[in-house]
Chain A
Amino acid sequence: MWEYTDKVKDHFLNPRNVGSIADADAVGEIGSMACGDALKLYLKLDENEKIVDAKFQTFGCASAIASSSALTEMIIGKSLKEAEQITNDHIAEYLGGLPKEKMHCSVMGRDALEKAISCYRGEPAKVVEGQVVCECFGVTDVQIERTVRENHLTSVEDVTDYVKAGGGCGNCHDAIAEIIDRVMGKAPKPKIPAKKLTNIQKIRMIEDALDREIRPELKKDGGDIELVDVDGERVLVKMRGRCATCTASQVTLKHYVESKLRELVTPELAVEEVQT
């Protein structure tokens, strides 16, 4: 059973603005029966491009109907320009949140609105942009990229929850993961200044990283680490406590300690264990 908010339930059981507008100024249609949900949005505008009426028809689950209903309530009275600013997140927020797996319902709302607006402006029906990545649901790389960026998605499952891509046969999971990496890579990350560190600076930063980040983690498992020397880019350490006898400590060293130091100090570092 889904955990729907009261607002979702209310909009599902008492949907606002169901129906069609015979002389609509704009219509946006999205989805299909095969996909499991579809929304047709009708807009009536006044001479100042203010939305004076909106109606919808939806085929889909409770959250799809609620998202459509919420969308019409949100846009009536708004100018086209204002309506354009509405994102899927706004729709979900308006409903007090949606289950993660149902976020694609709010995306459908946003997409229908976008389509209706370009219909009104007489923009040619958009040819689907980009390359289809998910064959099962016909989702392109451009759509996935946009959703990843706008919603800060980090996993393939997230992408599936939002735009359905990857929810069918699963053959495109690698391609989706690549898109996520690409988008995340592009996002401005606080970067360590690329300037060359002096030896003293480097050692201080390594010690600092060990103290603040690495040691507390190792101590959780009863382990510890000691810095023996820094020779160029080589960081020589000794594993202490439980780490000294743990068979997985080499993995910890390479996967955790080294990558953490590379992240916090400089990417060239290589960590080596010295035996006593």
Chain B
Amino acid sequence: MKTIYLDNNATTRVAPEVVEEMLPYFSERYGNPSSMHSFGGQVGKEIRAAREKLAGLLGARPEEIIYTSCGTESDNTAIRAALAANPGRRQVVTTRVEHPAVKSLCEHLVKEGYRVTFVPVDRSGRLDVDYLYEHMTEDTAIVSVMWANNETGVLFPVEQIARAAKERGIAFHTDAVQAVGKIPIDLSAGAIDMLSLSGHKLHGPKGIGALYVRKGTKFSPFLIGGHQESGRRGGTENTAAIIGLGRAAEFVSDHMEEENTRVKALRDRLESALLSRVTHAVVNGDPENRLPNTSNIAFEFVEGESILLMMDGHGICASSGSACTSGSLEPSHVLRAMGVPYTAAHGSIRFSLSLYNTEEEIDYVVEHLPPIIERLRQMSPFWQHACEKTA
């Protein structure tokens, strides 16, 4: 059975070009980039080149990039660094819809005695920016707002918020794990102080992330050790992954236009076809301000895990914000923060596409998913009732 992979916000296929470029670093090019000899030194040179490529994708300077092990480490580093740099300030401002990498850390900070303001979103997942501005105070050490939401794809006006933070002398960090590689980003012109990204979300390998730290931003390391990353992150470089991330940055940069035209069109095709074929289905999240690859659809009266498992039977991969898929009992915190009723949240499915998806694949999903929803609805005690009501 063919796999139709529509779960690219979870992770992406490592581009074959990326794999190819990484392979020598698992075998003959095993030198330590910090070594004095040319055998290691040549690896160091390649790492510099990879750093330049990644910086190029962001409109950053190479020395503003710190390699980490993942997006989560980047987020933790950024927020902890800002708190350490401003010991007198005891407040963090973030949103109610962050990824657990930021959300759980912030909840943990509350236990450590920090005040955390969680800024709400509206029914379409748009951030209440006024609320955010009102809650930036002299006590605020850092504002951390994600660039794009992983579940709905909704984009936040991070550049605007960063400027507002800067005016007040507050550090600004964005978890851009879902945005980097999908939408154009140019940090040189803006006011964003720190930005997190993750390799495996942009057709690079897992186990590599990066934190952009604007030159001049107060910083203190999270991992203390060797002189690597100019003393800002100890630990021998994950050379193969760094090389891979450099190549991946080039790859997504080359395909940025395609992502925002062809992939976006495929997403729209999928979305409109499903909405026209399935009644009682609605899109979660602002359809205007969204990543080009993401569609989150609530199928009412059915439960997400059942949908996913039945799709799995057809080789279709997606995600759900339902409670049952996470092992928790409540549906996704993002959908709850948006005020999506539980009845719809439990049946929410996230489709996230990539450059590797084709029209045939989308048509296959459009053909096979509506009968699954229909079958589950026939089983559901609420469906008949709903039909009677609308009849």
> Per-position contact with A for B320-347: 1 when CB-CB < 8 Å, else 0?
0011110111110000000001110010
**Contacting residue for B303 out of A40, A60, A160, A168, CB 8 A:** A60
| Interface-facing stretch out of B223-231, B261-269, B379-387 | B379-387
B67 interface residue (CB < 8 Å to A): no
With both beta carbons as reference points, the residue of chain B lying nearest to A41 in the complex is identified as B381
With both beta carbons as reference points, the residue of chain B lying nearest to A33 in the complex is identified as B343
Q: A36-B346, A137-B329, A168-B329 are in contact. Are A12 and B378 (CB under 8 A)?
A: no
Interface centre among B310, B325, B330, B343 (most CB of A within 10 A): B330
B313 interface residue (CB < 8 Å to A): yes
Interface centre among A13, A34, A136 (most CB of B within 10 A): A34
Evaluate contact between A36 and B381: CB separation under 8 angstroms.
no
Q: Which of B350-391 contact A (CB under 8 A)?
A: 378-382, 384
| Interface-facing stretch out of A61-69, A181-189, A248-256 | A61-69
A71 interface residue (CB < 8 Å to B): no
**Once the chains are docked, how many angstroms separate the CA of A101 from the CA of B329?**
9
> Per-position contact with A for B290-319: 1 when CB-CB < 8 Å, else 0?
000000000001111110011001000000
Evaluate contact between B322 and A167: CB separation under 8 angstroms.
no
**Contacting residue for A61 out of B313, B322, B328, B380, CB 8 A:** B322
Evaluate contact between A18 and B378: CB separation under 8 angstroms.
yes
A140 interface residue (CB < 8 Å to B): no
- B280: min CB distance to chain A, Å: 12
- A59: min CB distance to chain B, Å: 4
Evaluate contact between B378 and A61: CB separation under 8 angstroms.
no
- B143: min CB distance to chain A, Å: 26
Evaluate contact between A58 and B329: CB separation under 8 angstroms.
no
Evaluate contact between B303 and A167: CB separation under 8 angstroms.
no
**Once the chains are docked, how many angstroms separate the CA of A39 from the CA of B379?**
10
Chain A residues in 8 Å Cβ range of B304: 61
Q: A57-B380, A160-B329 are in contact. Are A37 and B342 (CB under 8 A)?
A: no
Evaluate contact between B306 and A36: CB separation under 8 angstroms.
no
**Once the chains are docked, how many angstroms separate the CA of A168 from the CA of B341?**
15
Evaluate contact between A101 and B327: CB separation under 8 angstroms.
yes
**Once the chains are docked, how many angstroms separate the CA of A34 from the CA of B303?**
11
Evaluate contact between B382 and A36: CB separation under 8 angstroms.
no
A11 interface residue (CB < 8 Å to B): no
Evaluate contact between A59 and B329: CB separation under 8 angstroms.
no
Evaluate contact between A12 and B303: CB separation under 8 angstroms.
no
Chain A residues in 8 Å Cβ range of B301: 33, 59
**Once the chains are docked, how many angstroms separate the CA of A177 from the CA of B348?**
33
- A29: min CB distance to chain B, Å: 7
**Contacting residue for A40 out of B325, B329, B330, B381, CB 8 A:** B381
**Once the chains are docked, how many angstroms separate the CA of A15 from the CA of B330?**
25
Evaluate contact between B381 and A38: CB separation under 8 angstroms.
yes
**Once the chains are docked, how many angstroms separate the CA of A57 from the CA of B382?**
9
Interface centre among A12, A39, A59, A160 (most CB of B within 10 A): A59
Evaluate contact between A57 and B329: CB separation under 8 angstroms.
no
**Once the chains are docked, how many angstroms separate the CA of A276 from the CA of B330?**
58
Q: Which of B231-285 contact A (CB under 8 A)?
A: none
Evaluate contact between A36 and B380: CB separation under 8 angstroms.
no
Q: A33-B346, A59-B303 are in contact. Are A13 and B329 (CB under 8 A)?
A: no
With both beta carbons as reference points, the residue of chain B lying nearest to A34 in the complex is identified as B342
> Per-position contact with B for A11-33: 1 when CB-CB < 8 Å, else 0?
01101001010000000010001
Chain B residues in 8 Å Cβ range of A115: none
- B20: min CB distance to chain A, Å: 30
**Once the chains are docked, how many angstroms separate the CA of A15 from the CA of B325?**
20
Evaluate contact between A57 and B330: CB separation under 8 angstroms.
no
**Once the chains are docked, how many angstroms separate the CA of A37 from the CA of B341?**
14
Evaluate contact between B328 and A38: CB separation under 8 angstroms.
no
Chain A residues in 8 Å Cβ range of B313: 13
Evaluate contact between B382 and A59: CB separation under 8 angstroms.
yes
Evaluate contact between A36 and B342: CB separation under 8 angstroms.
yes
Evaluate contact between B379 and A37: CB separation under 8 angstroms.
no
Evaluate contact between A12 and B381: CB separation under 8 angstroms.
no
Evaluate contact between B302 and A59: CB separation under 8 angstroms.
yes
Evaluate contact between B322 and A36: CB separation under 8 angstroms.
yes
Evaluate contact between A60 and B324: CB separation under 8 angstroms.
yes
Chain B residues in 8 Å Cβ range of A40: 381
Chain B residues in 8 Å Cβ range of A110: none
New contact pairs (6) apart from A18-B379, A59-B301, A59-B381, CB-CB < 8 Å: A36-B346, A38-B381, A57-B381, A59-B302, A60-B306, A137-B329
Identify the B interface with A (CB < 8 A). Answer: 301-306, 309-310, 313, 322-325, 327-331, 341-343, 346, 378-382, 384
Q: List 29 A-B contacts (CB under 8 A).
A: A2-B305, A13-B310, A15-B379, A18-B379, A33-B301, A33-B343, A36-B322, A36-B323, A37-B303, A38-B381, A38-B382, A57-B379, A57-B380, A57-B381, A58-B380, A59-B303, A59-B382, A60-B306, A61-B306, A61-B322, A61-B324, A61-B325, A62-B309, A64-B303, A65-B306, A65-B379, A101-B327, A136-B329, A160-B329
8 nearest interchain CB pairs? A167-B329, A61-B324, A61-B305, A57-B381, A40-B381, A34-B342, A33-B343, A59-B380
